[in-house]
Every structure is written in structure tokens, then in C-alpha cells.
């Protein structure tokens, strides 16, 4: 598998996800599809995320279904103002990263943007798209680089902590008890 694509098996959601990362002269992109079942409800969510060349989120789109509910969410950010389906999200003003609650792909964004040296840590504010409510909420996160390809991830004021393993691009290869990369 190339370093710019990943297939994950979800331990928590009972399913799989595929993600691809690429860039052009203007933006960095992530796109993928997650297929899983939760609460006996089959779910398919396709997503695409655009970031500037410093890996700051510019837009995201999530579409598909969760059980019999259609999902079609557009998120944009410009000058620190976040919109979800054209409605301003004042609670997350100042956030830099979009974070899809159902996917490990978006951990790549702060990992790439921060470019932490060994032992360094940084706190970031993310626009967290919750699953299955699909509400956009602020989420404080701390990333600490603990190894060449590892980070301590913390959110919820320390109530959620995971040791993430990543590949050379920064895509998660191990998110203990939640996601694992498949070769």
C-alpha cells in the first residue's frame, strides 16, 4: 500500500474505511469512504476534505446514509468563520482543523500542520463533526510526539487518551481499540 492511502478496520464501529491523500498546486486533499454498522444500522459515509498547503482546513463534505437517514453536510471555513450547510457555527470560531468523529483520517491534519519534533506537544482546537448526531462542536486536542512515528493524542480534558502510530505521511496505522490499518 502506498504511503498516501490507507485501509482501516474499525474495531469500535465494526466496519472499514478507505482514505487517499493527494495535493495539487492549490490544496491538500483527503477523500475516503467509511462503511460500518452501529446499533444495527448500516452506514456509508463518503468524505472529501480540502486544506491549504499548511494543512489548515478549508472545506469538507460528508455524504451518504446512516440507517435510513440521508447525510449531506457541507463545511467551509474562511478567516476563522465556520459554516455548516451555510449556517454559521459561532461555537467553533477560531478552530483550525476539521475532525470527523467516525474517521481516523483527520488526525493527519494537525500532525502534518504542527510538524512536531520529538517530545514537543501542542494544543489545537478542532471543529468536531460528531457521529451519529452530525453536530459540529469545538474539541480541544493535545498532540505530543513520542516517537518517530508515534503521538500521544488527548481530548476531553484528558478523559480520552490514545497512543497513535502513524506512517511517514502521518496517516494513523494504529488507533488502539478503535482503528487498525490493514495491509
Q: What is the pLDDT of residues 86-127, one digit of tens each?
A: 999 999 999 999 999 999 999 999 999 999 999 999 999 999
Q: How confident is the model at residue 1 (pLDDT cuts 50, 70, 90)?
A: very low
What mean pLDDT is reported for the chain?
96
Give the span between the Cα atoms of 35 and 179, in whole angstroms: 13
Other Cβ atoms less than 10 A from the Cβ of 107: the count is: 25
Number of domains making up the chain: 1
State how far Cα 20 lies from the chain centre.
13
Q: How confident is the model at residue 183 (pLDDT cuts 50, 70, 90)?
A: low
State how far Cα 114 lies from the chain centre.
15
**Predicted pLDDT at 39:** 87
Give the span between the Cα atoms of 75 and 62, in whole angstroms: 9
The DSSP element (H or E) to which 57 belongs, if any, is strand 57-66
Question: Average pLDDT, stretch 19-42?
Answer: 96
Q: Which domain holds residue 51?
A: 5-182
Amino acid at each position: 500500500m502506498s504511503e498516501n492511502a490507507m485501509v482501516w478496520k474499525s474495531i469500535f464501529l465494526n466496519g472499514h474505511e478507505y482514505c487517499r491523500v493527494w495535493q495539487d498546486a492549490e490544496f491538500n486533499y483527503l477523500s475516503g469512504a467509511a462503511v460500518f454498522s452501529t446499533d444495527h444500522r448500516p452506514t456509508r459515509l463518503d468524505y472529501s476534505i480540502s486544506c491549504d498547503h499548511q494543512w489548515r482546513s478549508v472545506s469538507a463534505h460528508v455524504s451518504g446514509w446512516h440507517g435510513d437517514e440521508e447525510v449531506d453536510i457541507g463545511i467551509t471555513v474562511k478567516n476563522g468563520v465556520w459554516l455548516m450547510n451555510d449556517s454559521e457555527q459561532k461555537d467553533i470560531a477560531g478552530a483550525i482543523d476539521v475532525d470527523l468523529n467516525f474517521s481516523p483520517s483527520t488526525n493527519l491534519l494537525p500532525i502534518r500542520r504542527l510538524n512536531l519534533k520529538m517530545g514537543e506537544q501542542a494544543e489545537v482546537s478542532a471543529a468536531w463533526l460528531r457521529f451519529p448526531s452530525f453536530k459540529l462542536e469545538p474539541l480541544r486536542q493535545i498532540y505530543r510526539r513520542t516517537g518517530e512515528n508515534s503521538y500521544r493524542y488527548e481530548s476531553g480534558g484528558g478523559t480520552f487518551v490514545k497512543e497513535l502510530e502513524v506512517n511517514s505521511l502521518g496517516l494513523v496505522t494504529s488507533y488502539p481499540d478503535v482503528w487498525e490499518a490493514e495491509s
